[in-house]
Amino acid sequence: MTGAVILGEIGDINRFEGSNQLVAYAGIDPSVYETGQFKADQAHMSKRGSPYLRQAIWQAATIAAIYDPELKAYYQKKRKQGKTYGTAIGAVCRKLLVRIFIILKEQRPYVIRDC
């Protein structure tokens, strides 16, 4: 069901020129807070775009961080770097969206590789 929501919210993949546009559409991209001379040290998710896609990707990334060997290793790497749970899952979301973009653009199957 989550996959159907993701595909339904993305729609035609050809309307996105690159994976960064898809990430921005999902609202997973970082937003920068600046006013005058002040620039924040930390960036937060912009949360622009489709909230339904963002929620579905978040759910998929949570499961992928457990069961997909490559994404699990990536999640664990982020946690060892001192990232919080949400930040690490957000990184998995981005990586998952890039994979989805490539799969849909090149029309090839998703292959899970062991690490």
pLDDT for 2: 87
Which tens digits make up the pLDDT trace of 85-102? Answer: 998 999 999 999 999 999
Amino acid at 25: Y
Q: What is the mean pLDDT of the chain?
A: 86
pLDDT for 113: 72
Which tens digits make up the pLDDT trace of 71-87? Answer: 999 999 999 999 999 98
Concatenated DSSP letters of 23-62: HHHHT-SEE--EETTEE-SS-EE---S-HHHHHHHHHHHH
What is the Cα–Cα distance from 75 to 81, expressed in whole angstroms?
A: 10
Handedness of CA 80, 81, 82, 87 (dihedral sign): negative
pTM, entire model: 0.83
What is the Cα–Cα distance from 9 to 36, expressed in whole angstroms?
A: 36
